[in-house]
Structure 1
């Protein structure tokens, strides 16, 4: 059984962020929230790596920012919990 497509993961991440408010609000989500939205509480763990990979690709494109303790970080190098947010509007 294959998991959700990268496109479905991307859409889920962006929908969750949009539901939190505008880019100026600074609201964040945890990657696990996207995984849970796609697979439920019991099946989300196998989706964590694909969700993080899609989040990092979105960050590379400037669509989201990966943060840790409120600071923007390179998610691929970060150790420990990360959060995702929309970048502030210019």
Structure 2
């Protein structure tokens, strides 16, 4: 499934805004919102979602968190969550 990065960006930002301050989303929520609930579809979007999330963090539009703390967008592994930029505490 090919999805434009702009669509992924819009989805991430909309979900973060909907969730509200102090709350996070899982990147799989963005993938599922685009591709549906079947794992064969949304799991293919996890790489592109991560790439867009990294770009958005570098632009200061979101914060990628691991274990509740902001990460270095160029060097993080494992499970992560996404929050709005107002939640950053670097």
Same fold (TM > 0.5): yes
Match of 1:17 in 2: 16
Structure 2 unaligned residues grouped into runs of 5+: none
After TM superposition, where is structure 1 displaced by more than 3 Å over at least 4 residues in a row? none
Q: Deviations over 1:29-76 (max 9, x none)?
A: 011100010001111011000000000000010000000011000244
Change in 2 beyond 3 A, CA 1:36/1:76: farther
Structure 1 unaligned residues grouped into runs of 5+: none
The total of aligned residue pairs comes to 85
Q: 1:49 is matched with which residue: 47, 60, 75? A: 47
How does the TM-score come out when normalised to structure 1? 0.88
How does the TM-score come out when normalised to structure 2? 0.88
Q: Distance in 1 between matches of 2:15 and 2:27?
A: 10
RMSD: 1.3
